[in-house]
Amino acid sequence: MLSKRPWFKRLLLSYLPVFLAIAAVLSILFVFAAIGVGKKEALRANRVFASQVQQSIDYSLRMVDQMMLGELGTNAVWRDFFEPKPQTRTNRYIADYELSNKLVGLTDNSPLIDSIYLVRFADQKVMTNSSMLSLENLPDRSFLQEVRHRTEQMRFWTSPRTADGVGMEEKDMFSLVLRYPLLDGEQGMVVVNIQTAAIAGLLDSFSDSGLSFIRLYDDAGALVSGTDIQQRAAGHEERLQAKSAKVLTRIKSDYTGWEVQSGLKDGSYAGGYTIPPRVWLALAVLTVLLGIGFIIYITMRNYKPIGKIMESIETYASVEPPKLRKGGGGDEFVFIAKALDDLIRQTGEDVIYRRRLLFQELFEGSRAISPEQWREQLKGLGMEAPVDRLQTGIVDIDRYEDFCRSYNHRDQGLLRFALGNVVSEFAEQQGLCIWAEWLTSQRMGLLILHQSGGQAPESEGRLQLVTGSAVEWVRQNLRLTTTIALGIAVEKASEVGLSYESAAEAMKYKSVLGSSRVIAQLDLPVQSPGDVFSQLQPIRAMATAFRLGEEKWRELFAQVMEALKKGRFSRDDIVNLMGYMLYQLNLELAGLPEESRQPWEVQAAPELERVIGGMDTLEELTCQVLPILEEQDALIRQIREKRAAHSIVWEARRFIEENYDNPDMSLTYVGEHFHITSNYLSRLFKEETGENFVDYLARIRIEQAMRLLKETELTVQEVAVRAGYTHYVSFNRVFKRIAGVTPGDYRK
């Protein structure tokens, strides 16, 4: 070891000034920026908090809205009330009794609903939770008469009001008004009353820390409820009064038009910023000291390889170290470069070139070499003992694109040189001879020479130890990882190409077996060609579910990725299957409206194509693909929910899925059920789902038929009837078009 270490001092003095300058500037700026940054974070957090509150309120009210839409569209007891038919008095009482029980059940099952009124315009009758009475006897009649004249909307939320219930005390409430029927509202209306106290309880559940407040204002600007309100006893006209506090966030609902205001209560806004500046300065100084210690440690650790190299040069160099030192001056790297130059002059560049050419030709299988020539080559490698087995290996740099971006050309060369030395050093420790040469800029080839006289299992065990130790050393000491794949063992030098082909095939399974490891031949799967094609149907089903916005697309995607992992598919197979998945998604989403399709075509599809092409491992691919799909699913869902026809199409889909076996199922049949024309329903269905009504119905029926063919012993004709087809010929034709085979062949 040299007594003086100028390179160590150079590294240390290069790091410290920059580090100290940055640390000093950061220490000064930190005190001034901390409060400002903290306030910005408080504003951002408060906005997220208010958005969650607004979404929760909208979700609760939407649930009531959707529940009432479902009841009005599917339950006959509502229609019997609004469209009374001539019947006996006993039957009429029974119908009224059933409807009253339905109202009581809806009220009891929903914690938000206080009461429900049904108003029939024909005879001015009102059905409540507990009685039937005329409109003029209802305490809340002034409100009902007011909303009856609002004919511009078929379904809307009202502003809060104070009203008397039937046989109950005065309450603060607001209402959901639905005109019946939903399309024209000429027969009557349904009023669902919600207590503002229930909304107040919901707000209280969000603000229990004592630091923030939430207020809710209606579309007219009147205060509905809040966590910081004061009850006033004087009259009903001003019962709520908000305490004075700074409002940080205002979010208005697109659904109700109501506004959520949120902020921090008095005295809590600056509570997190009262730490004295000297504490921050002390922490900054401590951080600087720790950073200096860390730099010294890293510098010493980085210097160790240089010291070892110089020790080796001084010990084994044929030229005396003083002469080398004279040529290198006081710089260690110049000293090492001088030694390498002398070594090159001693061995000759021609020898190195011939060795690399022979290595490449052996791996390519293009070199015919006789046993005598091979023995001469082994002597050149220092192998005096006979070699009875040859084996190849491949060292692959993981995430090669990141490697190229992180290092310049010179640093890449140094790291490749270090990787070759690491493998050779571990092999020497275990008594193995490994010849290593770089085949490409990413891959290094290994030729393992198993000497005669050793047992095969023992030699294989040492090889596993060498390769495993090399992979672990690289992971711990270099800012990169490598994967090593081992080929089969052969007996002749002319068969080295076969061993290399098996190692290259093993490297293809890095995507499923994982990186930064050793892949041996025993790790490879035995897989039939049919396993790849078995994933095509689940991929198509996933793409269809994604287009329809069904939650099961995530489960289907997870099943496909799990099948790829368990089946240990090669990288080529995974890339091809993922490309097929992208193709199916493009095909499915092509039928959606332009506002839903454009983000996919412009952003998501190109990003997925880039991720698939640059795949390294299956786990990383899953973590990159899933967020892209989830973001697009949320975007498409948001666009759909903004349309007025979303709930109608959703109800129509549910109706089809429940009654697909009805042979009369058609556009006209569904339109009559929902009181809309078939042409209008067809257009809504296509815009919402991207699929024609006929194709959607056929797919639902065939999916059920496929399930029955797999799970039951029913004949094909019986399955056709249960799927809604009265003619076997039609069923057979549609089944073959969708499934690709006839029903009989599918069952086989």
Q: What is the DSSP string of 178-210?
A: EEESTTT--SEEEEEEEEHHHHHHHHHHH--SS
C-alpha span between 491 and 371 (Å, rounded):
11
C-alpha span between 631 and 600 (Å, rounded):
10
Going by C-alpha positions, the residue among 269, 202, 233 that lies closest to residue 58 is 202
Q: What are phi and psi of 719, to 5 degrees?
A: -65, -40
Q: Judge whether 171 and 162 are in contact, CB under 8 Å.
A: yes
Q: Which two tokens stand for residue 141?
A: 């009649």
Helix (H, G, I), strand (E, B) or coil at 488: strand
Residues in the chain: 748
| DSSP 8-state code for residue 441 | S
Alpha carbon separation from 737 to 222, 234, 660, 699, 740 (Å, rounded): 60, 74, 18, 10, 6
Q: Judge whether 317 and 324 are in contact, CB under 8 Å.
A: yes
| CB neighbourhood size of 397 (10 A) | 23
Q: Which residues pair with 486 in a beta bridge?
A: 393
Helix (H, G, I), strand (E, B) or coil at 355: helix
**Residue 18 confidence (pLDDT):** 63
Instruction: Provide the H-helix boundaries in 690-727.
Output: 693-711, 716-722
**Residue 386 confidence (pLDDT):** 66
Q: Judge whether 417 and 469 are in contact, CB under 8 Å.
A: no
**Residue 382 confidence (pLDDT):** 56
Going by C-alpha positions, the residue among 455, 459, 510, 515 that lies closest to residue 482 is 515
**Ramachandran sector of residue 453 (left: φ over 0; alpha: ψ -120 to 50; beta: rest):** left
pLDDT along the chain (748 residues), means of 10: 57 68 68 60 76 84 83 78 68 76 82 84 82 81 80 80 67 84 81 83 70 79 74 41 68 83 63 55 74 75 71 59 52 66 58 74 75 70 66 88 86 86 85 84 86 64 86 87 87 81 82 82 62 77 79 85 80 84 82 77 86 82 87 78 64 76 76 71 70 77 83 83 79 80 81
C-alpha span between 7 and 299 (Å, rounded):
10
CA 134 to chain centroid, in Å, comes to 57
**Residue 431 confidence (pLDDT):** 80
Pairing of strands 518-519, 482-490: parallel
C-alpha span between 302 and 226 (Å, rounded):
61
| DSSP 8-state code for residue 3 | S
Q: Judge whether 507 and 522 are in contact, CB under 8 Å.
A: no
pTM of whole model > 0.75? Answer: no
Sole residue written with tokens 């087995």: 389
**Residue 270 confidence (pLDDT):** 45
Q: Judge whether 178 and 190 are in contact, CB under 8 Å.
A: yes
Burial class (CB in 10 A: 0-12, 13-18, 19+), 43: middle
Q: Which residues pair with 216 in a beta bridge?
A: 225, 260
SS3 readout for 288-348: HHHHHHHHHHHHHHHHHHHHHHHHHHHHHCCCCHHHHHHHHCCCHHHHHHHHHHHHHHHHC
Alpha carbon separation from 539 to 527, 565, 727 (Å, rounded): 20, 15, 31
Helix (H, G, I), strand (E, B) or coil at 83: coil
Diameter of the chain measured on Cα atoms: 123
CA-CA-CA-CA torsion sign (90, 94, 97, 103): negative
Residue 139, preceding peptide bond in cis (omega within 30° of 0): no
Residues with Cβ within 8 Å of 6's Cβ and at least 6 positions away in sequence, in order, are 330, 331, 332
Burial class (CB in 10 A: 0-12, 13-18, 19+), 82: buried
C-alpha span between 94 and 91 (Å, rounded):
5
**Residue 642 confidence (pLDDT):** 63
CA 672 to chain centroid, in Å, comes to 41
Alpha carbon separation from 74 to 71, 312, 648 (Å, rounded): 5, 88, 12
Helix (H, G, I), strand (E, B) or coil at 433: strand
| CB neighbourhood size of 567 (10 A) | 17
Helix (H, G, I), strand (E, B) or coil at 585: helix
Q: Which residues pair with 251 in a beta bridge?
A: 260
SS3 readout for 260-282: EEEEECCCCCCHHHCCCHHHHHH
Give one DSSP letter per residue of 211-259, joined into a string: SEEEEEE-TTS-EEEETTEEE--S-STT-EEEPP-EEEEEEE-TTT--E
